[in-house]
Chains A and B, each alone.
Chain A
Amino acid sequence: MKIKKINSFLILITLLCMFVTSLLTPATAFAEVPYKTYTHDASDGNYNVIETQAAYIPSRSITKIGETSFAWARDMHITKDGYIYIADTGNRRILVSDLQGNYITEFGSGVLMTPSGVFVTEDNMVYVADRDAKKIIVFNNKGELIKEYGKPNHPLYGDEVDFLPIKITVNHAGNMFVICESNTNGIVQISPAEGGTFLGYYGTNPTSISLVDIIIRMFMTDAQRAKMIMNRPPTPDNLAIDEKGLIYTVTRGQRYETLRRLNIAGKNIMEADDYDETPVAVTPGNYNNVYMVSSQGYVYEFNNEGNLLFVFGGRDDGRQRIGLSKKVEAVGVDGGDLIYLLDSDMNQIQVFEPTEFTDLLHEALYLYSKGRYTESKKPLEQILRMNSLFGYANKAMGLAYLQEENYDMALHYSKLAADRVTYSDAFWEKRNEWIRDNLIITFIMIVVLVTILKIFKHLHKKKGIFNRINNFISIIKSRLIVTRLRYALYFMKHPIDGSYGVRWEGMTSYFSANIIISIFIIFNIINKYFTSFLFKTVREGRYNLFSDIGSVLTIFIVLTACNYLVCTINDGEGSFKQIYCSFAYCLTPYIVIQPVVFIISKVVTLNESFLVTFSEQLILAWVLVLIFIAIKEVNNITVKETVKVIVLTLFAALIFALLVFIIYVLWQQVFDFITAIGGEAVYRLGF
């Protein structure tokens, strides 16, 4: 009885809690959306993909225009005044509807063969790319045929190249940009003058050539080169034009420059953060943003600079859930930021509407692009309150604060967004401020310090006031371990003589070598986690001390052991202790120079970053030279033998790693076997 009572009480409380929480949290469309929305948490290359609030939610779908349905539609264009033009490829016509899907008109029947691309200009001329008719056909918005453009007969077009237009876009001047099937020369640019003048190829995709190919080609004769498979650039798959007349193209099968924004010279001026293997369409948004969709149904939204804002959507697995697609062909955006996706497999247009979150982001994009940085901070702050990891918002905040000359905040936000360029700029300004305020004081302090030092030196010479301290220092210096550690400095400058000392004069011991290795590990860790943000290779706030210490120790011990083993069978004369100590002493340049580099890294910007990278390379080179000389001198072998020993050591280390891996795998098997037996025993015997 009692238990039942408590149970029912618990249930009541749970229900109450659920009710209250549902009241407290604002109603979001999370549950209704059949896909997840992702974004990047940093604007650099070093980002993580994170889940975020739904950016767009599916609102409805248009399956029929009035009473007529469309079949295998390949393209769609949404005009500013709110009409959808659909290239109804299967029915060989152009369908026009309003944004709700009400029938307006249709035309082109009998003229068009396979209309696969459609574009409508601002003065309502409808350009249709017809692949099988091999023509571009122009209608007015009443459906009357105005003009036709066939294959350009310009010599530069190429006589043997066919004219198979599949996608088209037109700029303000009436110049047509046409993507032709199997034409790898680029986008065909045709001007309307004199019945269609070929202006040239535009925006050719880059081809990639590997280093090996370049070297092979260098040694080939022209005849041999001609026989090789031509390295042709891929044809773009779709294109769009924005208000400024910049052309966007998408190309499938590429890992870089899938999405390109071309300037008037046909050069790419945008580097998108993300890529897709099967992009099919692209359209500019209303806020200098751009949407790219893949045929799988993923929609990418990028800002002006190619930073990913959102990616959402996905492939329908046959359950026909609204919001997922099967084979997307075209994308469009209307004045109210609704996204329209044309699906040729499901024969429908799906409409997505932006959430409050996205509206805020668009507002921020708009304000920022107009240069109203201070105002753009407000929507950005709201976005960050909803998702504090949103990479673009953090970056934009950093930039906005930089514009406002609030450098502390700019540093804070650009650090969150891992935006090194902004961080560096803000840091530059801060440093400049500091120098301006403290230059004279620093100068005076240096002068005073130098004079004081000079006075003390003088007094010491005259009266010997520092004799006691000097005595103390010399006592410390005479301690064995201190002399051994100080020997590292000598070793670093005179490796040949230093190796002799290690070998014959007992200048080192395991103890001193271990101290040097420990200092090396400590400096390594400090440098890894506490160096300036600009030079950090790990993300902020991540620590993995165990593996840092472990990896350095393992590498050092394995290499030393392997080297010892290899040396002993190759006439090497050094003992294990000598090799161990000399290797440890070879790390001295790092210990001596790295602290200086560390301090420098704290005060330099990206502009002076070469100071840090250059010193690090110098340290590496120095250490390698020391190791080489140490191996040679401690073992008393020739240069040729040293090279051989080094190669063999690396090989032995590789074998050792392989061995460890095999043992690990075998043990794993044994372990699995034992746990399986244990599990079985427990199960059978019923413990």
Chain B
Amino acid sequence: MRKSTSISRRDNNRNGYFFLAPYFLLFFIFILVPVVIAIALSFSNFNAIETPSFVGFLNYINLITKDEIFMQKVLPNTIVYAIIVGPCGYILSFVLAWALSQLPKMLRTIFALIIYSPTMTGGVAMAVLWKIMFSGDQTGYINSWLMSIGIINEPIIWLVNTNYLLPIVIIIALWNSIGGIGFLAILAGILNSDETLYEAAAIDGVKNRFQEMIYITIPNMKPQMLFAAVMSIVGAFQGGLISTQLTTNPTPGYAAQLMVNHIEDYGFIRYEMGYASAVSVVLLSIIYIFSKTSKKLFSEN
């Protein structure tokens, strides 16, 4: 009896590894190996053609002490961007998911698809919507509107003006992040919660939807909330596509240069792969620290 269970357990383990294998293989090849290589390259001087030469901590020391653009523009920009887009996008997607969950099923599916679409079609939306909205002459929607009500009397060149570039990027990123993966996870979490709990709560004296949300929905879907929080923070730090799609890389006056743009700038424009790897390792550790803290904050234990 005892013997057979141990055998079957070993069998189960083997089966488990077997089922794990495809994912592990992909993870190993496409995530683990590149990360390890990036960490290794970050200690070297590598221009993508010659063999990398070992330079020790030089890249990191240069990054912190010599790269004024990184310290004065890129790092502050990235932190502002992440601090605003991460939590605000999270809250917005929660509110949206909750509102959507109140709709009947057919309508909900259609809306969910519409709201999720910017994540898939970001580039198109950027070209047809935001570039026209923030066009720098009087034909741009926002300029035209502001001029018609008399706030400004000459058009503002939104996408070149260093004062406005980062706020614009943040607004677009918020719009973009409302309907991301986090949104879908939260929506699934809300829909997954047990109907009987709501009935019980109604009997116990819950009066409105807000109380339902506070006392039942949120405690009920902690795992999904945590997942969405981590995803939104990671996503916020990895953002950077919007800046370069709106303008160029580097952005005018480095006003909206984020860390990912900086990596791209060094890696694929200047071909200083070692330095770019060092920046990406720094980005990786920042994301790691932030997701750890958010996990600590959001999970009870």
Q: Do A and B belong to a common assembly? A: yes
- How many A-B pairs have beta carbons closer than 8 Å: the answer is 31
Whole-angstrom CA separation of A214 from B150 in the bound complex? 7
Whole-angstrom CA separation of A432 from B76 in the bound complex? 16
Among B57-65, B89-97, B118-126, B237-245, which stretch is in contact with chain A? B57-65
What 0/1 readout, one digit per residue, does chain B (199-225) give for beta carbons within 8 Å of chain A? Answer: 000000000001000000000000000
Given A440-B57, A607-B76, CB of A218 within 8 Å of CB of B65? no
Whole-angstrom CA separation of A428 from B246 in the bound complex? 31
A218, A436, A607, A639: which contacts B72 (Cβ < 8 A)? Answer: A607
- B150–A209 touching, CB < 8 Å: yes
Among A44-52, A514-522, A589-597, A608-616, which stretch is in contact with chain B? A608-616
- When C-beta atoms are compared, the residue in chain A nearest to B208 turns out to be A639
Classify chain A's interface size: 10 to 19
Chain B residues within an 8 Å CB radius of A614: 83
Whole-angstrom CA separation of A639 from B83 in the bound complex? 30
Chain B residues within an 8 Å CB radius of A154: none
- B76–A436 touching, CB < 8 Å: no
Chain B residues within an 8 Å CB radius of A214: 149-151
Whole-angstrom CA separation of A611 from B83 in the bound complex? 10
- When C-beta atoms are compared, the residue in chain B nearest to A440 turns out to be B57
Whole-angstrom CA separation of A218 from B79 in the bound complex? 37
- B61–A436 touching, CB < 8 Å: yes
Chain B residues within an 8 Å CB radius of A432: 65, 71
- B65–A436 touching, CB < 8 Å: yes
- B61–A608 touching, CB < 8 Å: no
What 0/1 readout, one digit per residue, does chain B (164-205) give for beta carbons within 8 Å of chain A? Answer: 000000000000000000000000000000000000000000
- A608–B76 touching, CB < 8 Å: yes
The yes or no answer to B80 lying at the interface (CB within 8 A) is yes
Min CB gap B152→A, angstroms: 10
Chain A residues within an 8 Å CB radius of B72: 428, 607
Secondary structure dominating the interface of B? helix
Chain A residues within an 8 Å CB radius of B83: 614
Given A607-B72, A607-B76, A610-B80, CB of A217 within 8 Å of CB of B149? yes
Min CB gap B237→A, angstroms: 16
- B149–A218 touching, CB < 8 Å: yes
Min CB gap B80→A, angstroms: 6
What 0/1 readout, one digit per residue, does chain A (594-625) give for beta carbons within 8 Å of chain B? Answer: 00000000000001101100100000000000
Given A610-B80, A614-B83, CB of A435 within 8 Å of CB of B65? yes
Chain A residues within an 8 Å CB radius of B80: 610
Number of interface residues, chain B, beta carbon within 8 A: 15
Within 8 A of B (CB), among A187-226: 209, 214, 217-218
Chain B residues within an 8 Å CB radius of A639: 210
Min CB gap A625→B, angstroms: 13
Chain B residues within an 8 Å CB radius of A436: 61, 65
Given A209-B150, A217-B150, A218-B149, CB of A611 within 8 Å of CB of B79? yes
Chain A residues within an 8 Å CB radius of B60: 439
Within 8 A of A (CB), among B29-71: 57, 60-61, 64-65, 71
Chain A residues within an 8 Å CB radius of B71: 432
Whole-angstrom CA separation of A607 from B74 in the bound complex? 11
Chain A residues within an 8 Å CB radius of B151: 209, 214
Within 8 A of B (CB), among A439-485: 439-440
Min CB gap A650→B, angstroms: 24
Chain B residues within an 8 Å CB radius of A607: 72, 76
- When C-beta atoms are compared, the residue in chain A nearest to B87 turns out to be A618
Whole-angstrom CA separation of A611 from B78 in the bound complex? 12
Min CB gap B286→A, angstroms: 14
Chain B residues within an 8 Å CB radius of A611: 79
- B64–A439 touching, CB < 8 Å: yes
Chain B residues within an 8 Å CB radius of A439: 60-61, 64-65
- A435–B64 touching, CB < 8 Å: yes
Min CB gap A603→B, angstroms: 13
- When C-beta atoms are compared, the residue in chain B nearest to A639 turns out to be B210
- When C-beta atoms are compared, the residue in chain A nearest to B75 turns out to be A608
Whole-angstrom CA separation of A536 from B188 in the bound complex? 48
- When C-beta atoms are compared, the residue in chain A nearest to B84 turns out to be A614
Min CB gap B296→A, angstroms: 12
Chain A residues within an 8 Å CB radius of B76: 607-608, 610
Min CB gap A189→B, angstroms: 18
Whole-angstrom CA separation of A628 from B60 in the bound complex? 47
- When C-beta atoms are compared, the residue in chain A nearest to B73 turns out to be A607
Min CB gap B173→A, angstroms: 17
Whole-angstrom CA separation of A432 from B64 in the bound complex? 8
Within 8 A of B (CB), among A100-136: none
- When C-beta atoms are compared, the residue in chain B nearest to A436 turns out to be B65
Min CB gap B49→A, angstroms: 30
Min CB gap A395→B, angstroms: 22
What 0/1 readout, one digit per residue, does chain B (6-31) give for beta carbons within 8 Å of chain A? Answer: 00000000000000000000000000
B residues near A, CB below 8 A?
57, 60-61, 64-65, 71-72, 76, 79-80, 83, 149-151, 210
8 contacts between A and B (CB under 8 A): A209-B151, A214-B151, A217-B150, A436-B61, A440-B57, A440-B61, A607-B76, A610-B79
Please provide the 6 A-B residue pairs with the shortest distance between their CB atoms, ordered closest to farther: A436-B65, A218-B149, A607-B72, A608-B76, A217-B150, A435-B64
Seed contacts A439-B60, A439-B64, A639-B210; 6 additional CB < 8 Å A-B pairs: A209-B151, A428-B72, A439-B65, A440-B57, A607-B76, A610-B79
